[in-house]
């Protein structure tokens, strides 16, 4: 009888750990304002997550992502292993060719879709 209890406790604690592992340490921040890159990157640095950290830019003001205005931020993102993404629909709207983007900037088809898809994978979302 004692043995059964021990086994039961072991199994219960095992399943509890298994459940904890399902919570991911991944984050995604959605913003339409490139000026927010700096505070977001600072936040990412402070968090120092073991998981993934993505920033998605969308909207009518994304063009600085390819200019010198964001160069510092882009360098910082590479250093911190934060991925910078920009919405293809916004680029199309502004007639920006994805080929003209700096190579560290990735393109997603639709920022809103990506936001939901990542949440489904367990990412925590902050939309600014």
Partner 1 sequence: MKTLVSTFILSLFMLMGNIQHTIAQEAEKQNYVVLTKKVQQLKPILLAAKELSKEDGKNFGNFEIIVCGKEIGNLTDLETMKPHLKEAKKIGANIVACGFSLKKFNVNPKKLPKNMKVIDNGILHNLKLQKKGYLSLGL
Under the criterion CB under 8 A, does residue 24 sit at the interface with partner 1? no
Q: How far is the CB of 105 from partner 1 (least distance, A)?
A: 19
Q: Between 13 and 81, name the residue whose CB sits nearer to partner 1.
A: 13
Under the criterion CB under 8 A, does residue 125 sit at the interface with partner 1? yes
**Cα separation, 112 vs 80, whole angstroms:** 24
Part in contact with partner 1 (CB under 8 A); list of ranges 49-57, 63-71, 77-85, 106-114: 106-114
Q: How far is the CB of 24 from partner 1 (least distance, A)?
A: 14
Residue 61 neighbours by CB distance under 10 Å: 15
**Cα separation, 86 vs 73, whole angstroms:** 14
CA distances from 119 to 7, 25, 36 (A): 36, 12, 21
**Which residues touch 3 (CB under 8 Å, ≥6 apart)?**
none
CA distances from 88 to 36, 62, 105, 121 (A): 19, 10, 12, 21
Q: How far is the CB of 52 from partner 1 (least distance, A)?
A: 18
By CB under 8 A, what part of segment 63-92 binds partner 1? 87, 89
Binding-site ranges for partner 1 (CB under 8 A): 3-4, 7-8, 11, 15, 30, 87, 89, 110-113, 115-117, 119-120, 125, 127
């Amino acid at each position: 009888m004692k043995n059964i209890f021990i086994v039961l406790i072991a199994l219960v604690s095992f399943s509890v750990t298994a459940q904890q592992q399902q919570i991911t340490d991944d984050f995604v921040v959605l913003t339409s304002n490139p000026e927010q890159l700096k505070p977001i990157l600072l936040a990412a640095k402070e968090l120092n997550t073991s998981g993934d950290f993505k920033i998605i830019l969308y909207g009518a003001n994304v063009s600085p992502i390819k200019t010198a205005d964001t160069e510092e931020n882009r360098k910082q993102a590479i250093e911190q292993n934060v991925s910078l993404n920009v919405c293809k629909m916004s680029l199309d709207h502004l007639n920006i060719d994805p080929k003209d983007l700096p190579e560290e900037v990735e393109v997603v088809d639709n920022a809103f879709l990506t936001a939901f898809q990542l949440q489904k994978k367990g990412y925590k979302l902050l939309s600014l």
